[in-house]
Each structure stands twice: as C-alpha cells, then as structure tokens.
Amino acid sequence: METKRKYRRYEIGFKRQVVQEVDTGAISLTAAARKYELSPNLINEWRDKFREGALVDRPSRRERELEKENELYKKLLAEKCAELEFAKKAQACARRLRRLDTAVITGQNIGQFRKDAE
C-alpha cells in the first residue's frame, strides 16, 4: 500500500526566525533541527536562500486568484460607468432636441425661429 507523502509548508517569517537563530549562534543547527522537527538540510537550504535574497514574501495562490478577480471586477465597473455616462449624454441630447423641436414660440426660443425664417 502506497501512502501519499505530505509536505509541510512554512511561513516566511518562521523560516527567517530559524535561520537567524542558527546564524546568530543562539542555537546550533542540529539543536534547531531537533527543536523545530526539521531536517538540517532543509535549514541549510533556507540559509542559502536567505543569503541569496530569495527568501521573500510572495503572494499565495489564493491572493493571486483574488487579484485576478479584483481586476475583472474593476474592468466590469469601468465598462458600466462608461455605459452610464453614454446613457446620460444620450438623455441630455434627447432633451435638447425636444426643446429645439417645439412649435411653441417663447422669449427663450424666438431667436431660433427668426434664424429659420431668414
């Protein structure tokens, strides 16, 4: 019977803490391995990555998915805002046309009718 191997994941902060404890001499490599139930080779890998600057916080898969979803919603919102702005402009244009297309002569629109008569 074959069992699936479980891999443990550790936070970046925890990795840094272990590496710093070993590097400062607060605890030996073997003692840290025993204390945290880790392989000394794993701690050495973390040390190498820390020295190379590769031991940095990166967004999790869930955070990346949420970012993509957020970008999608931003795009949809921008489209809806553009549609709303277009509808407002069309409505204002329709109001102007209705105002101009009247048979009633008032003091406000008399100039329009005088121009048409000339």
- Beta carbons of 43 and 14 less than 8 angstroms apart: no
Question: Model-level pTM?
Answer: 0.47
Find the domain containing 50 and state its range.
Answer: 8-58
Tell me the two tokens of residue 54: 């590769």
> What count of other Cβ atoms lies within 10 Å of the Cβ of residue 43?
20
Does a structural domain hold residue 66? no
Q: What percent of the chain has pLDDT over 90?
A: 53
Does a structural domain hold residue 24? yes
Specify the number of domains making up the chain. Answer: 1
Does a structural domain hold residue 27? yes
User: Does the pLDDT of residue 105 top 60, yes or no?
Assistant: yes
Does a structural domain hold residue 20? yes
Does a structural domain hold residue 49? yes
Does a structural domain hold residue 85? no
Round to whole Å and give the CA distance between 113 and 107: 11
Round to whole Å and give the CA distance between 22 and 28: 6
pLDDT at 113: 66
pLDDT at 101: 67
- Beta carbons of 18 and 31 less than 8 angstroms apart: no
pLDDT at 1: 58
Mean pLDDT of 18-39: 93
pLDDT at 20: 93
pLDDT at 99: 73
What string of DSSP letters covers 21-76? HHHHTSS-HHHHHHHHT--HHHHHHHHHHHHHT-------HHHHHHHHHHHHHHHH
Does a structural domain hold residue 34? yes
For 49-96, the pLDDT digits (tens) are: 988 887 777 777 888 999 999 999 999 999 999 999 999 999 998 888
Does a structural domain hold residue 47? yes
Residue 31 sits in a domain whose CATH number is: 1.10.10
Mean pLDDT of 11-28: 92
Tell me the two tokens of residue 58: 């990166």
Mean pLDDT of 27-37: 93
User: Does the pLDDT of residue 97 top 90, yes or no?
Assistant: no
